[in-house]
Chains A and B, each alone.
Chain A
């Protein structure tokens, strides 16, 4: 790039910075909305299943049945919210949503247990919330198993005991798991939308037409527009990182600077995506809709919400093509597992390659629009 090219680039970057500063609604949108969302989502999301509302129908009313129910109460997973005395009421409590789990201990329970036959306990689980259902089934099974073992062993010690230790997130707090991903996705949305708007706004106001009549080149225009927004997005990324540590107490085990460097190609990709959108959208409303259309797959297929490991193969492959998948893995790696360059160089390379491809595509689309 010659001296004139550099001057053009600098003029565009400066002008774009003025647009950012002069437009309070964009600034508000860019800076405060992600923070607001962080607090809303950060506090609301808790995937750990605790205190599931449980209704009890104890037909036996014996010492054995009470000791079994005590186990359920002590597990912290279940919270007994009431007692019923007929099968109909038990079913009704689940249908109405008053309880998610219903436990029925039949009248014959104690007799059967004492006579060495199998004492059956009915656990009704509301399957409309799949994570709650799965947890209730598991814990219910485990409680029955430990109750059985204790009866069989009659006070002798357990032959085997599993001692699970959850690494990196010992309390299995969902905030620790979600916020690194949330940080990536929020800034991604901001990067794509701001860069799409930056071009579409000029289209709407007719200023792009005027620019096309000048010697400015597509590359200079793209780069000049990208730089201020890249700076803004990275600043926002750091701010959310800070809030994550201070506001949510999520410790950063690795080097935040490493994370920031790997985030650079990722956000370049997302700004490139915004530019590609801007070549199609004629109004800011249209560009907003298209941006959201790109955000959804990167939220649901990237492992941000649903674990990648349980995805069917075709979707898993699709997920690998989405930059967000790699970036979220980097964010969780650095923040939760303390991963460094030795673990993440592959991610950095993939993200860089994706950035190069996306930017090349959007530059070609943009140049086509120019002529």
Chain B
């Protein structure tokens, strides 16, 4: 279930394999990201997301395959590639002992902007991310959300056409998270391609396309809608239901080991499960003292859990 490559891709990775000694960190990954896309890369910790980004920036040599970024070879033309990309990491990677303004000045110099270019571009970005009241604060004194906005501003100084965001919203509050995504969509509207890794499913659902990387292998790629409609998520002869009751924990306990019911998870005030066709909604409701049972669609999380379990069981997707 790998979607076909867009024409004239901004990122074109073919069969990318990365090894550290005997460990294969990324194994035969094929992916293409088109102009102006918001592309989400998901996967558990240690699945190779950051390694893949580093390889696309030309920092790690490939053991096999090829990676072209912005039409250039990521490794051999890494200088040109890095001049055209922005990068923002999960960790605040700016200087805490420097003020926001000094960080901006530093990265303006690093990206080779002259004094007037720097002034103009900084003014634009400060306006865009609303950093003006915090320019004279040191990095260490900014809150998580402001740190990330400053990091984003620094990553955009040279007007990159592609920005890598490695878990950009890890550890910041929900309001700041939403603000950051609004900023990202505005960027995307300006034709900037975004390559985002995340743990949050709601963020994945905002992406135009997502890919799921598990233990170095790409297990799925497509739009969130495509992925949730994938028939493999819900096995033949079964359906996905949502059960609403007074005590979700009790329902969970009751269903967890019951024959004919699988993938039981608590989801807020409801319980989600995959139920065999042989069990009707009615009988299930009776069994659970009249709890409401209704059909539901699989979420992206369901899709990824199914894919990961199938992979662990030795199956292939």
Q: Which listed residue (A209, A211, A370, A371) contacts B110, Cβ 8 A?
A: A211
B108 proximity list for chain A (CB < 8 A): 11
- Given contacts A15-B106, A213-B85, A213-B87, whether A207 and B94 have CB atoms under 8 Å apart is yes
- Given contacts A209-B89, A210-B89, whether A3 and B94 have CB atoms under 8 Å apart is no
Tell whether B290 is near chain A: CB-to-CB under 8 Å: no
Query: Does B98 contact A207, Cβ atoms closer than 8 Å?
Result: no
* A6-30 CB contacts (< 8 Å) to partner B: 7-8, 10-12, 14-15, 18-19, 22-23
Query: Does A214 contact B94, Cβ atoms closer than 8 Å?
Result: no
Query: Does B111 contact A19, Cβ atoms closer than 8 Å?
Result: no
A207 to B114, CA, bound (A): 23
- Given contacts A209-B89, A215-B79, whether A19 and B112 have CB atoms under 8 Å apart is no
Tell whether A206 is near chain B: CB-to-CB under 8 Å: yes
Closest to A217 in B: B79
Tell whether A205 is near chain B: CB-to-CB under 8 Å: yes
| Contact count band on A | 20 to 34
Closest to A202 in B: B95
B interface size (C-beta, 8 A): 30
A210 to B112, CA, bound (A): 16
B59 proximity list for chain A (CB < 8 A): 212-213, 370-371
Query: Does A206 contact B89, Cβ atoms closer than 8 Å?
Result: yes
Tell whether B91 is near chain A: CB-to-CB under 8 Å: yes
Tell whether A314 is near chain B: CB-to-CB under 8 Å: no
Tell whether B205 is near chain A: CB-to-CB under 8 Å: no
Mask: chain B, 155-169; 1 = CB below 8 Å from A; 0 = not: 000000000100000
Tell whether A170 is near chain B: CB-to-CB under 8 Å: no
Mask: chain A, 210-238; 1 = CB below 8 Å from B; 0 = not: 11111111000000000000000000000
Tell whether B57 is near chain A: CB-to-CB under 8 Å: yes
Mask: chain A, 23-48; 1 = CB below 8 Å from B; 0 = not: 10000000000000000000000000
Tell whether A4 is near chain B: CB-to-CB under 8 Å: yes
Query: Does A3 contact B112, Cβ atoms closer than 8 Å?
Result: yes
Cβ of B108 to closest chain A Cβ, rounded Å: 7
- Given contacts A211-B110, A371-B59, whether A11 and B105 have CB atoms under 8 Å apart is yes
- Given contacts A7-B112, A210-B89, whether A205 and B105 have CB atoms under 8 Å apart is no
A370 to B60, CA, bound (A): 9
What is the interface of chain A mostly: helix, strand, loop, or mixed? helix
Mask: chain B, 54-97; 1 = CB below 8 Å from A; 0 = not: 00010111000000000000000001001101010101111111
Closest to A13 in B: B109
Closest to A213 in B: B87
Q: Which listed residue (A18, A22, A212, A215) contacts B112, Cβ 8 A?
A: A215
Query: Does A15 contact B113, Cβ atoms closer than 8 Å?
Result: no
A217 to B78, CA, bound (A): 11
Query: Does A206 contact B97, Cβ atoms closer than 8 Å?
Result: no
A78 to B164, CA, bound (A): 78
Query: Does B109 contact A14, Cβ atoms closer than 8 Å?
Result: yes
- Given contacts A11-B106, A11-B108, A215-B111, whether A210 and B97 have CB atoms under 8 Å apart is no
A12 proximity list for chain B (CB < 8 A): 106, 109-110
Tell whether B15 is near chain A: CB-to-CB under 8 Å: no
- Given contacts A19-B97, A207-B94, whether A213 and B57 have CB atoms under 8 Å apart is yes
Tell whether B281 is near chain A: CB-to-CB under 8 Å: no
Cβ of A363 to closest chain B Cβ, rounded Å: 17
Tell whether B292 is near chain A: CB-to-CB under 8 Å: no
Cβ of A23 to closest chain B Cβ, rounded Å: 7
A212 to B166, CA, bound (A): 15
Cβ of A168 to closest chain B Cβ, rounded Å: 47
- Given contacts A212-B59, A213-B57, A215-B79, whether A19 and B109 have CB atoms under 8 Å apart is no
A217 proximity list for chain B (CB < 8 A): 79
- Given contacts A212-B59, A213-B57, A215-B79, whether A15 and B102 have CB atoms under 8 Å apart is yes
B107 proximity list for chain A (CB < 8 A): 11, 214
Closest to B80 in A: A215
A10 to B92, CA, bound (A): 23
A206 proximity list for chain B (CB < 8 A): 89, 91-93
Query: Does A11 contact B97, Cβ atoms closer than 8 Å?
Result: no
Closest to B60 in A: A371
A22 proximity list for chain B (CB < 8 A): 97-98
A4 to B95, CA, bound (A): 22
B82 proximity list for chain A (CB < 8 A): 213-215
- Given contacts A18-B98, A207-B95, whether A214 and B110 have CB atoms under 8 Å apart is yes
Cβ of A227 to closest chain B Cβ, rounded Å: 14
Q: Which listed residue (A7, A212, A216) contacts B114, Cβ 8 A?
A: A7
Cβ of B152 to closest chain A Cβ, rounded Å: 12
Query: Does A8 contact B110, Cβ atoms closer than 8 Å?
Result: yes
Mask: chain B, 18-61; 1 = CB below 8 Å from A; 0 = not: 00000000000000000000000000000000000000010111
Mask: chain A, 191-212; 1 = CB below 8 Å from B; 0 = not: 0000000000000011101111
Closest to A15 in B: B106
A205 to B92, CA, bound (A): 8
* B132-171 CB contacts (< 8 Å) to partner A: 164
Cβ of A312 to closest chain B Cβ, rounded Å: 43
* A116-136 CB contacts (< 8 Å) to partner B: none
- Given contacts A210-B87, A210-B93, A213-B85, whether A11 and B110 have CB atoms under 8 Å apart is yes
Closest to A22 in B: B97
A41 to B98, CA, bound (A): 37
Closest to A3 in B: B112
- Given contacts A11-B105, A11-B109, whether A18 and B61 have CB atoms under 8 Å apart is no
A95 to B61, CA, bound (A): 68
A213 proximity list for chain B (CB < 8 A): 57, 59, 82, 85, 87, 164
A216 to B107, CA, bound (A): 10
Query: Does A7 contact B113, Cβ atoms closer than 8 Å?
Result: yes
Query: Does B94 contact A18, Cβ atoms closer than 8 Å?
Result: no
A254 to B57, CA, bound (A): 54
Query: Besides the contacts A11-B109, A18-B98, A19-B98, what 9 more A-B pairs have beta carbons closer than 8 Å?
Result: A3-B114, A11-B108, A14-B105, A14-B109, A205-B93, A206-B91, A206-B92, A207-B94, A210-B93
Interchain Cβ contacts under 8 Å between A and B, 9 examples: A3-B112, A3-B114, A7-B114, A11-B107, A12-B109, A19-B95, A205-B95, A214-B82, A214-B111
Rank and list the top 10 A-B pairs by shortest CB-CB distance, nearest first.
A11-B109, A4-B112, A210-B93, A213-B87, A22-B97, A215-B83, A206-B91, A215-B82, A206-B93, A15-B106
